[in-house]
């Protein structure tokens, strides 16, 4: 899996129907109207997400490697 930054992950989520509902500091929360879950993405400049964090966000959002 190629590493991506938090900003890139936010763009991928928005492209797939996730909507920004709130942000506080360096954490952005996304939600879809039909989905009760909230996905939180840490955005710290252009730093890459840690592999476990990236995998968890992708799994929860239903994203694949091609979606990035």
- The predicted pLDDT at position 45 comes to 86
- Every domain of the chain and the residues it spans: 6-67
Task: Decide: residue 35, CB within 10 A, 0-12 exposed, 13-18 middle, 19+ buried.
Answer: middle
pLDDT digits (tens, 9 = 90+) for 28-66: 999 998 888 899 999 998 899 999 999 999 999 999 999
pTM metric for this prediction = 0.89
Q: What is the mean pLDDT of residues 14-26?
A: 94
- Label each residue of 14-58 as H, E or C: HHCCCEEEEEECCEEEEEECCEEEEEEEECCCCCECCHHHHHHHH
Assigned CATH topology for domain 6-67: Metal Transport, Frataxin; Chain A (3.30.920)
35 sits in the region (left: phi over 0; alpha: psi -120 to 50; else beta) called beta
Instruction: Give the pLDDT band of residue 7 (cuts 50, 70, 90).
Output: very high
Q: What is the mean pLDDT of residues 6-27?
A: 94
């Amino acid at each position: 899996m190629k590493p991506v930054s938090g900003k890139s992950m936010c763009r991928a989520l928005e492209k797939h129907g996730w909507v920004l509902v709130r942000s506080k500091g360096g954490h952005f929360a996304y939600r879809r109207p039909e989905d009760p879950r909230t996905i939180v993405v840490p955005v710290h400049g252009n730093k890459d997400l840690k592999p476990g964090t990236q995998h968890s966000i992708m799994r929860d959002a239903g994203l694949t490697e091609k979606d990035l």
